[in-house]
Amino acid sequence: MSRTLFSLEKQANLICIPITETDYEKFLAAIHEAETVSDAIELRLDYLPAQDLSQVLKQLQRSIGQIGKPLIFTFRPVEQGGKRKLSLSERQNFWRMLPLEIIEAMAFADFEIDLAESFAAGSPIPWNKVICSWHSLEGTPENLFEIYQRLDRTQAAVNKIATKANRISDCLSLLELIDARHSAKPTIVIGMGMPGIMTRVLGLSRGALLTFGALRRGAESAIGQPTVDELANLYRVRQLTRESEIFGVIGKPIGHSRSPFMHNTALQAAGRDGVYLPLEVDDLDEFIRDFARPAMRKIDWRLRGLSVTIPYKTAIIPYLDYLDPIATSIGAVNTVVVEGEQLHGYNTDVMGAMNPLEQLIDLNGAGVALLGAGGSARAVCYGLKQRGALVTIHARDLDKARILAHEFGANVREIESFDGQADIVINCTPVGMRGHSEGDSPIDVNCLSGVKLVYDLVYNPEETALLSGGERAGCRTLGGLEMLAAQAAEQFRLWTGLEMTSEKTRNKRN
């Protein structure tokens, strides 16, 4: 390498699409498709077999000047997240032999740190066009700052760290690399995996040079990578700033949730400067302390509210400063509002669950088989008893079910003993949920022939095994999406004082 031409020149708010096709023609076609929706394009040349790689480079040598977006060239070994077994010498030779036309036109070359350090000082490398990167596929190490300092000592123009975020707390140290301004160099920081999603969405607003978004689902270059459409249009990452309001849903698992689509759509429709994030939490105490409670949290953000889902609807109560009367009666919270220095808890599940159900069947005197005894079951049980239904709780944890039954005057049976003796069956367990137990039913669907209505609070997928079984048995069925929309609208009102008016929030989106 001896000459340079194009630079990103301190541009910001860039969404970069990695090209991950493994076929010559598809790779080139994907570049042209990415031009229409990206700010920059990363050519993952390590995805290509040797023959296809040669063809792509020959074509780029002829036509790279016609590509209208900045190009980042990457040739990564498998141990650092690449797709090819590449020795250090093979990577050195690749960059040394790259055609001059490509060298001049590229925006950046991504050098892994061992590669960057292998080139001696004075080597004819255009360091002002080099990203020096370090990847960890196992986790986020404690000595992250030391690694960053090592990157910073190279002659590269940009520092990049991408690590597997095994826990949401890993995001704190990753975002700290941007927040603390440890270097004058532009920085790219990525937390891979679902717990790291906030680094991908909030990174630009905190000063990161760019974030990566897949061209489409299935074309990701790393786990947990959203699509360019999600980053640009759902999370609106280009418009976010440090002053943007933060909302989110906490739970585990969380990847199935449609709440980010519903609430982000509503925020956009209302013209609200904010974003709603999926937050996969495995330690509630740590999350409340480090992310949520204003006086203690370790992250500088304008958190306004949280949705709470499985398994934290009851566990979160001791952390709250105020409970509204309905949440107190139910003993479960699905909504947290940040009020000054305090966290206030509410439950919008009752209204959300009962409104669509009451439109289909008279609950007064109806026999209801309630499946599960968790936070959602508590809200549904409360609503059913208020409306005069006769409830039997079917659960695996009978001790937990008996506590719930005692509070709300219900009966208890083992879930395996369900024999179809009910007017209504309501599933309040996660069984059947995408990412949990998709395709399973919490009960034997062959026992549903005498049931009038089957109601499954699981909404992703919309057609669960329980609902399919109910339809085959001739039952009326009701999915969980209507409940989700109703309870979300009330959450939105509690957080913002506004009505969730956009019909788009009810549209299907997986």
Asked if 274 and 325 touch (Cβ cutoff 8 Å), the reply is: no
The three-state secondary structure class of 111 is: strand
Name the residue type at position 183. S
**What's the pLDDT tens digit per position in 135-182?**
999 999 999 999 999 999 999 999 999 999 999 999 999 999 988 767
**What's the pLDDT tens digit per position in 177-208?**
988 767 789 999 999 999 999 999 999 999 99
The CA-CA-CA angle for residues 118, 124, 126, to 5°, reads: 90
What ranges make up the beta strands (E) of 127-262? 130-136, 158-164, 187-192, 210-212, 245-251
Q: H helices within 409-464, ranges in order?
A: none
Phi and psi, residue 407, nearest 5° = -70, -35
Distance (Å) of CA 125 to CA 1, 96, 148? 5, 9, 21
What ranges make up the beta strands (E) of 317-429? 322-323, 335-339, 342-346, 367-371, 390-395, 411-414, 424-427
Has residue 255 got a pLDDT over 90?
no
Q: How far apart are CA 464 and CA 477, in angstroms?
A: 11
Architecture of domain 247-347+490-506: 3-Layer(aba) Sandwich (3.40)
User: DSSP secondary structure string, 397-412?
Assistant: -HHHHHHHHHHHT-EE
The CA-CA-CA angle for residues 40, 43, 45, to 5°, reads: 170
What are the helix and strand counts (H, E) for the chain? 17, 20
CATH 3.40.50.720 in the chain, residues? 350-479
CATH 3.40.50.10860 in the chain, residues? 247-347+490-506
Has residue 6 got a pLDDT over 50?
no
Q: Using N-to-C axis directions, what is the helix angle for 24-35 and 50-63, rounded to 10°? A: 40
24 sits in which H/E element = helix 24-35
Sign of CA dihedral 193, 198, 202, 206: negative
123 sits in which H/E element = none
Has residue 124 got a pLDDT over 90?
no
Q: What is the pLDDT of residue 122?
A: 67
Is the backbone peptide bond immediately before 461 cis, with ω within 30 degrees of 0? yes
Least confidently predicted of 1-5, 112-116, 358-362: 1-5
Least confidently predicted of 227-231, 335-339, 505-509: 505-509
- Average pLDDT on 402-427 reads 95
Bridge partners of residue 210, in order along the sequence: 14
112 sits in which H/E element = strand 108-112
Asked if 446 and 465 touch (Cβ cutoff 8 Å), the reply is: no
Q: What is the pLDDT of residue 428?
A: 95
* CATH number of the structural domain 14-229: 3.20.20.70
Q: Residue 59: CB partners within 8 Å, gap ≥ 6?
A: 28
Least confidently predicted of 6-20, 329-343, 423-437, 447-461: 6-20
- Average pLDDT on 414-422 reads 95
Least confidently predicted of 64-68, 226-230, 288-292: 64-68
Q: How far apart are CA 394 and CA 79, in angstroms?
A: 49
Q: Which residue has the tokens 């889902």?
A: 309
Q: How far apart are CA 312 and CA 316, in angstroms?
A: 6
- Average pLDDT on 437-441 reads 93
- CB crowding 230-257: b at 16 or more within 10 Å, else e: bbbebbbbbebeeebbbbbbbbbbbebb
- The residues annotated with a catalytic role in the active site are 313
Has residue 2 got a pLDDT over 90?
no
Q: How far apart are CA 227 and CA 214, in angstroms?
A: 4
Q: Which residue has the tokens 């809200």?
A: 379
Q: How far apart are CA 412 and CA 299, in angstroms?
A: 44
Phi and psi, residue 480, nearest 5° = -85, -5
Has residue 218 got a pLDDT over 90?
yes
Q: How far apart are CA 476 and CA 474, in angstroms?
A: 7
Q: How far apart are CA 186 and CA 134, in angstroms?
A: 15
Q: What is the pLDDT of residue 505?
A: 59
* CATH number of the structural domain 350-479: 3.40.50.720
